[in-house]
Amino acid sequence: MNKLELQVQANSPYNDGWTQQFYRDQLNKMTTEGRPYLGPDTTYEQQRKCRLQDSVDEYLQDDQVDVDTFYNDLVDCIQEIADYYRKGLTKAEDALNKVNSLPF
């Protein structure tokens, strides 16, 4: 809910006291940007580890996936990254060679 909707619910005479209090509490939890406060921000490193944990969990908790599949997919992902950067390196080296071969 946005701030205006929360204010309407917190002050509505059609809501009982408990409901009004609930919405007042929700309003109090809002930050100045209008978003609810969800706790302190995590660092990039913590977020990255959490994303990795989610991926590992997905593989290891799936009864139809064995450890070899997890291993092979991990190797494939790393190989795709290596291939991508190798292609970029080759392209950059070709460009550099071309520029260096220009007569000045």
Q: Could you give the 3-state DSSP secondary structure of residue 42?
A: coil
Supply the pLDDT for residue 103: 85
Q: Do residue 21 and residue 63 come from a single domain? A: no
- What's 33's DSSP letter? T
Percentage of the chain beyond pLDDT 70 is 91
Q: Do residue 48 and residue 80 come from a single domain? A: yes
Provide the residue range defining the domain that includes 90: 44-100
**Secondary structure of the chain: what % helix, strand, coil (to 5)?**
70, 0, 30
Q: Using the predicted structure, report yes or no on whether residue 34 has a pLDDT greater than 90.
A: no
Supply the pLDDT for residue 32: 59
Q: Do residue 7 and residue 27 come from a single domain? A: yes
- Whole-number average pLDDT of the chain: 89
Whether the model clears a pTM of 0.75, i.e. scores above it, the answer is no
> pLDDT confidence of 56, banded at 50, 70, 90?
very high
